[in-house]
Every structure is written in C-alpha cells, then in structure tokens.
A and B are shown apart, each in its own frame.
Chain A
Amino acid sequence: MIRGREQPVRPAPFRYLAPDSLEEALSLLCEYGEEAKILAGGQSLLPLMAFRLVRPAVLIDLRNIAELGRYRLEADRLTIGSMVTHRTIELDHRVTSRCDMLAEALDVLGHAAIRNVGTVGGSLAHADPTAEWLAVALALEARVMVTGPRGTRSVAAENFATGWMASCLAPDEILTEVRLDMPGPGTGSAFEEVARRHGDFAVVGAAAAVTVADEAIEGVRIALAGAASTPIRAPRAEALLAGSVPSAQDLEAAGEAAASETDPVADLHGSEDYKRQLARVLTRRAVARAYRRALARP
C-alpha cells in the first residue's frame, strides 16, 4: 500500500489562461467568445463548474492584471478595481468608517475565507440578486465601469443587473471597476439582512442611505437584495419618507411600501410572503438606523 494524496477532479475539462494585461484578456475573450468565462475570485463560478452546471471550454483568469487589483479613496469617491477582494475593503478602516452600510454588508457577506478570495467585481458580474455588493451599489448610486472591444463605458448600478444572474455585460466585455460615492455629512446609512445562518446568502437584505436637514429627511435611497429577480430600489418607500421627520408610523408605512414594490422568488428558505415580510421589516429597520446615524453626523 502506497500513501499519497489524489484529489478527485470535478469540473468538465477546460483550458486555463491567465493573461498579464487587460488588452490581452479582452483579445482572448474575443478569440474564444462564448466558450470562455472570466475567472475572478472563483467563489461562485467554481462551484457551478464543479456541478458541471457551467462548462466553459476556457477560463480567463484576471489575477495577473495588476491594475484590476487596486482601489483608491479620493475625497468622497471610492474606486474599486474588479479584482479587489471583499476582505481588502473590509479591513480598510478609512473606507468602512466612512460608510456604515458597506461595513455592515461586508460583515455578513459570506465567511472570512470567502471574503479573502472573492472579489468585488466577481460578485457584481455574477449578478446574484441576493448579493450584498449589488444592493450597496444600488443604494449608493454607484457606477460600474465596463471595457470591451468597443471601448469603455460607465453603467449606472440600477442598469447593471438585467435579470436573475444576468447583467448588461456583453460576452466580450470585462467589468473593470466600480465607483462609489461615500456618504457625506448629514447622511447616515445602514445594511440589514436575514440569512439562515451567519454568512449564508441573504434571504432578504435592505440597504438604506438617509440624508437629513433640520431633522427632516432630505433624501433617502433604499435598495433590497433577494426581493426580486434582481436587486431593486424601493422608490415608493423613498417618496413616502422624503421631507418627513419620520415617526414610527412613517417608518412602518415605508416598510409596507417597500414590501409592495418587491416581486420575490420563493425558495427553500423563504416563501414569497415571508420575503415580503422581511422586506417590510428590514427596510423599516435599515431606514430607522440610517436616520439615527444621519442625525448623529451633521
């Protein structure tokens, strides 16, 4: 008997390429077309490949493209390269101290082991409707930068996800960075989520950013994860709250309004009704906390 370690192989056969530049990556993407998949952190793609639910003939890994692995905070603008890991942002106190919503979202995004490897761009591009990053991007009205053979374009977060795990990315395009404006003075933010266990996919999550002037809500942005086939804004709830000094009843009404704007998809962890209930409660709680925080940082 000989001792050794042989790992079972799971995915269907594929070629692995790791170009050094964005240009090279784009040209490989052109060459292989729909046969190719971009590999970022691999936290979603590799399990799908292991189940052979996705069978790309070619994987183009972006790990060697240095520019995609950088992020910077300039004044109020946070620019994150698509290959930056969740953990990198999570551990940068300069960033998280500027945005409670982001800090709270990163705290419930998977587990540390996943955040160490998973990337911001990968999470956005995967377009899972329960993804925390998409909800945060929506609530902060972020812009997603996309590069392809026709050049670079800037996509508003609300136009990015187009359906269940579908985005506006063309097969020959690569998501390069996301640009977020950090909440300024007078703005508070919060992220609320219910998951079955800590670190699980959200059943429903709610992100809220509230700007106050003289204790009244001047502006509010609410985004929900897991409440429809894409992440959604809740404009009716936002309209209800605008201009108010929110009472408990106002907050409850905003929660009701947000719930009415959802179109949840039932799964093993929640019926449509249950997810609507969560949208109602979590919206109310996120707005209430964001409002309290806004009052505390004039």
Chain B
Amino acid sequence: MRQVGKPLARREDDRLLRGKSRYLADLAFGDQLEAIVIRSPFARARILSIDTTAALAADGVVAVFTAEDLVDVDPALTRQFYSLTPAFVERHDVFLGPYREPILAPGRVSRVGEPVALLVATGRAAAEDAAELVEVDYEPMDPIVDPLEAMAPGADPVAADVPGNVQASFRIEVGDPGRVAGTADRTVSGRFRIGRSVGSPIENRGAVGVPATGTEPLTVWSTTQIPHVLRSYLADFLRCGEEDLRVVAPPMGGSFGGGIYAEELLVAFAARALERPVRWLEDRRENLGNARHSRDQIIDARLAYDLSGRFRALRMRIVQDCGSANLFGLTLPFNIASHARGQFAIDHFDVEGLCVLTNKTRNTPVRGAGRPEATFVLDRLVDMAADDLGLDPAELRRRNLIPAGEMPRDMGMLYRDGAPMVYDSGNFPDQLHTALEASGYWEKRRLGGRAGEGNRARGIGISSHVEATGLGPHETARLEIDDSGRVVLTCGSNPHGQSHATTLAQVAGDALGVPYDRIETRFGDTGLLERGGGTFGSRSAVTAGSVVHSAAIELRRQVLELAGELLECDPADLDIRDGLVSPRGVPGIGLGFPELAAAARDRNDGDGSGLSAHDEFVPSTVTFGSGTHVASVAVDRETGVVSLTGYVVVDDCGTVLNPMVVDGQQHGGVAHGIGNALLEEAVYDEDGQLLSGTFIDYLLPTATDVPDIEVIHRPHPTPLNTLGVKGAGEGSTASAPGAIANAIVDALRPLRIEINEMPITPQRLVELIRAAEAEHMVGSAGN
C-alpha cells in the first residue's frame, strides 16, 4: 500500500497527548546548575560598573559571569546567517554592513533585555533571589525606537560600526517600472505598517551545557531549529573544532523562527568553566522581550494599472526595523520583495529595501517571514484598485493572475540563494475559482456590506500568495537496517511540530516496502549525523523528504541485492511488501528484515549489517507553493469587534505527503495569520520599553478566535524534486491578514475605508469608521 498521500495518523500524537513527551525542562543532568540571565533595563545606556560581590556571597551562588569574564572566546556573534553570491550582490545592488551582537554587554547596552551577566546557582530559586543583588550602574541615553528617525541625517548610531543605522540594503528592478508607472492610466498607493510580532512557541527557549567527559564531547542541549548550525557557531565562539562539540535538540514545544542566541553559547561557556552541567530555562517574560521579534516594516507601495484593469507596474520601498542587531541580513525585506507580486503577472517592478537598526529587540524571520507582509500589501492594493475601477475584486484578480499555461515563469530577478527566481508550477486561476466556489463568494458579496442585526455588517475578502519553499543549502539523511532488522531513519532536519516522524517515515516506507510506524526515526543530534541543515523556511518536506527518498531507494537496492544472493534469484524479480522480501507474484513468503540483517551481519563477520545508505540533497533553488484564501467576517460597526464567520483555504504544496498533516499546517498557519491580522503586537514606548511584556497585553489567538477552516488541496507537483513536493509550513500565515483585511473593508463597503496597518485592532477600526462617517456626512452636506 502506498503511504505517501494518505491521511495516516501522526505517530507523535500518542506521546504528546498523554503528556509523555520529554522537553528540555524535563531533563536533568546529574549535578546541574541553574543559570539566569541578568538583563538590561534600559534601551540604550553605558554600563559604568557591575558589582557582583553581594550576589556571589548569597546562598547557592556558584558564579556570576560578565563581559570581562569572557576570555578565550569570541565576545560577540558576528557571522551572518546567510551568505550571498557575488552575482546576487551585483545584480540587486546589495549593501551588507557588519553584524555584531555581544554575548554579554561590554560596557554599553543597546536594547532592553540585552544580556549583561549570567548568574549560576545551585537552584532556580537561589539564582532568582541572588540576581536581585547584582548591582549594575547604568548611565541611560536617549534611545532610537523609530526606524525613520534612525535613518534621519545626524541620528546617533545604534551600533558603532553602522553609521547612519542602515545595516543592509538592496534594490531590485525588473522591466522599466519608472516609465510604465508614469504612463499607466491609474495608480493606487499607500503607506503600510506591519506590526511587530513575537513567535511565541508554547515552550519557551532553553539550553543546557554539559561538560566534556572521557567519552562525550562538550554537549549543548537546546531548543534549536538548527543543531548543526548551532554547533558551528559554538565552535567559533569557543574557538574549538566542531568535532569537539555535540548539539542535541530534544522534543520541542514549537518554534517559529529564531536563529542563534547568546544564551545557547553562554551555557556551554559556563559548563566548561565550572565543569558542571549548566541549565538556562527562559521564562515567558524573557521570551516576549528577548526571543527575536518579527515583521515590523513600513512599506510604501504603488500599483499602476490600465483602465482595463491590467496591472502594469508595482513599486515599493521597504523600511525594515531590525532592532539592535541583524543576524539575518536582507532576509526579511528581500522575502517581501520576492513575494511582492504574488500570483499576478506584473512585468515592471522595483523595490528598494532598507534594514535599519533601532534600540529594540532584534528581528528575525518568523513563520511567513516577509510573505504575510508582502501579501497583505498586495491584497490591499488589488482591492483598492478594484474599488477605483468599480470592478469586483475577484474579477480584477482573475484578469491579472498568471495563466497556468505560462508556468514555469521567470520573474526576472534572482532569489536570495542566487538562482533565477522562477515560479516552477501551479494553476492560480483554478485556485481562485475553487476558493470562490467553496466559499459561496458571489452570494456573500451580494448580501454583504450592509449593517444587519446589532449593527453587524458582513463582508468577504480574498487573498492569494506564493511561497518560496525548500531553501538549501543542503539536507542529509541516513537510512539503515540495524542488527535486529529494524529500519532506522536519521535526518539532519529536526522537527518541532512538523510531523517528521510521520511524513518522512511514509516516504521511506514507500521506497522500502515497510509500514511507516515500524521505522524508527532520529533527529536533532549532531552526534548521529555529521551534517544537517535544520528546519526553517518550509524546507523539510522538500529537502529532508527528497534526501530520505533517495537514501531509502539506495537502501532498497542493497536489500534486494542481498536477498537476491540469499534466494539465488535476480533482485529485479523481487519485491518488498510489509517488510517481507518476496519473489514478485508470490507475496507472503520470503525473507524478513531480521533474517536479512542476520545474514548481512554474518557476512560482515558480526560487524553490523552494513545495510546502510547515506545521502545529501542539494536543491537547485526554491520551489513555489501557493494558496488562495477567502475569509468571511462580521464587523460590529460600533465597537470595531471583528468575528470570523467562515474561512476557506485552497492550497498547492505539490505532492501532498500526508493530507492530515498539511491540513494541520494550514490550520496553524491561518491561526498565526489571524493573530497577526487582529491581535498580536509587540509595542514599545518612546523609551524603548516593551509595553506588551505579558500574555495579558500580547494577545495570541485562542480557540474562540479561530473559525472552522475548510482546506482544499489542489496540488501541482514541482518538477524540481523527485517527489514533486513543495513546502506547506508558512503559506497560510501569508494570506490570512490580507483576506481578513479585505473582508473587513468589504463589510464596511459603503464607508470605503482603507486598512493599511496590521494588526487591525477594534480601536483602530472604530477610528477608521468614524473618520469615514464624518467624511461621508461632510460629503452629504455638500450635496
């Protein structure tokens, strides 16, 4: 039975639902110590002195480390996460300034929450009590919290080596946008503000450093998405070889982006210095302020089109607020640029992107990573143009979608990986048609826009997006048959909710003729696999799926060859079903994997079965998934409260490995997008203090905020990998904000409001409604 494509039950669920998963905080390491980070209370200050005397004298305190103590290590993170090709830099006029994020603040702090000292004690309670005794004398300075102020001439630099505060920039030009925009019949434009958000995994961050023993290297257990990358940063920091280190990512309670953090490095340093395991567990307040934030752009955009409704040119300027340091370089604004045209044929396009430093928490790609921002802006511009032209938004969209016959389509620019950006597959018009039908769009459009009972008005809105997925540079897997005959799958991409143990086992199981639930899976341990990429950017189904597939095919070849020898027949005449190697047409008799493993072991003089395949997948470039969403809302015109009354997702992630898993990704993605659209906002005051420092003020969507979501799969497999898989992890986050914004505008159709900011809070909506009503009354009075 083919397993790929079936909605097979997740193997992870039993353990998770019974509360049997063991997360980082559940693990104990002998005589481990507890560390807590002492953080800056100021957004910008000089540190005049740090007095640790009283803290060191407190009960249970073992050590307090400050910047001065970081000897024989690199005192700052300086290596940027992604490298860029020279051709890409040349083509898109890239400037990339230095990145520097101190491990512990050396004499100055540039954001609230910046680590100033690490206090290590025998227990958490002792550590927290003693932390209050560390005396740091600060001289506060005026912070810069507004990126536009940071860019103004004469602004103080946030980082000494980034004068002018623009840390990175690029420029894209496709076609002749200046001329075309100037000659197009009509334009719509706006300044769009995307609120700052926090990834907010259920489990906060944490890391444990365990000193080297005679047999084990220095080991860091961390809630990381990228164990192999962390190992390489640790090697830089500790000035040792990667072979002297091991990184393990235990089961994780989610993760939506992040990167490499000082805390992960500090526990290794402390463990090495103190020769005892040192654990750091983040609390929620720390997470909301110190796990890297995301979004937070100001985007000026202009769409030019003809009276016929044909889009001619899109122009954009993106100011990305990066916070105090920018590990990820161009990633966020460039992602906005590369997804800015969405599913539409727009031949003339230019974007300027600027990464600006401010005295706030650092920014990072979080689920969607530029796609929700780009899609929101485009969705709004399209509906504004439809309003201007007097066309239904669905009709204007239909006229401008890239036809299926024009796939693959070269978009005239390079992707971040340096390859030409090509939409490789998909059928956008079919997607739109399917979404409109499933949502009852035309009927709802006819009935919407009027205030009904309780002053609630109903509306419907469309969003469509593309999603570049499966980013390289590489992914690695090993498939082997152990001595007992069990198939063991080891992969460099580690899950934190993505269902790797299910979907990758389905892929391997199909190739090997073994049911997925009999394949043991191992992830997230650099001790098991020399290389690995990690899990981010909707890459795992593509990259890990592809390498597991090819390794499993190689292992199958080995199994059939061995079985052919043992059964004295041509391997081509053999088949594997349900873990049994049988002559074709004679199922039910043959050799099981335990017998094969035993035979192989004998042949190897007892030294393992030797049945093992190791492979690495290097994608040529990204592959584009896509989706179209239709949201239905009811808006209380007096209170600004928005209720979601219906939601349809039509998704194309290529070959669907497991529809139930993909549905789950869509549900989670929509929920995340609802949060961004209506609720979530990390707010700083003018002193650079985070006002939304608890879950009372930073609002995540809960069950009552998420409607029933209908997910429809319309897969168009990619030609870029053997499985035909495209990523599915982030697309739904991309479209929810635009679909919801457009539905709200539709519900308030008579008022013709413009939404150009997210989240769309009830207060902001009431302000827009009142302003529109006032204008309307002035307009009426004039008639």
**Chain A contact residues, CB within 8 Å of chain B:** 1-6, 8-10, 12-13, 51, 194, 196-201, 203, 268-271, 274, 277-278, 281-282, 285
Contact = CB atoms under 8 A, between A and B. Distances in A.
Contact of A1 (B28, B285, B692, B697): B28
6 contacts: A4-B26, A13-B125, A194-B762, A269-B763, A274-B763, A277-B639
A200 B761 CA distance: 15
Contacts of A8: 25, 124, 281, 283
Interface in B631-646: 638-641
B704 interface: yes
Contacts, number: 79
B766 A274 contact: yes
A200 B699 CA distance: 9
A1 B297 CA distance: 45
B66 to A, nearest CB: 23
A8 B679 CA distance: 29
Given A8-B283, A201-B696, A277-B638, A2 B683 contact: no
Contact of B125 (A9, A270, A281): A9
Interface string B121-157: 0011100110000000000000000000000000000
A7 to B, nearest CB: 8
B283 A10 contact: yes
Contacts of A282: 639
Interface of B: 22, 25-30, 123-125, 128-129, 281, 283, 285, 454, 638-641, 679, 681, 683, 691-692, 694, 696-697, 699, 701-702, 704-705, 761-763, 766-767
A292 to B, nearest CB: 13
Given A270-B763, A274-B763, A13 B129 contact: yes
Contacts of B454: 285
Contacts of B641: 194
A2 B28 contact: yes
Contacts of A268: 681, 683, 691-692, 697
A197 B679 contact: yes
A184 to B, nearest CB: 28
What's the dominant secondary structure at chain A's contact region?
loop
A10 B28 contact: no
B763 A51 contact: no
Contacts of A13: 125, 129
Contact of A197 (B283, B681, B699): B699
B726 to A, nearest CB: 33
A165 to B, nearest CB: 14
Given A196-B762, A197-B699, A4 B124 contact: no
Contacts of B283: 8, 10
Given A3-B22, A194-B762, A268-B697, A278 B683 contact: no
Given A10-B283, A271-B763, A281-B638, A3 B679 contact: no
Nearest to A281: B638
Nearest to A282: B639
A203 B704 CA distance: 17
A270 B692 CA distance: 14
Q: Which of B683, B701, B704, B763 is packed against the most chain A CB atoms within 10 Å?
A: B763
Contact of A12 (B129, B692, B697): B129
Nearest to B681: A268
B679 A196 contact: yes
A2 B30 contact: yes
A8 B25 CA distance: 9
A5 B26 contact: yes
Contacts of B704: 197-199
Given A13-B125, A269-B761, A270-B763, 13 more contacts: A3-B28, A8-B25, A51-B694, A196-B761, A196-B762, A199-B702, A200-B696, A268-B697, A269-B697, A274-B762, A274-B763, A277-B638, A282-B639
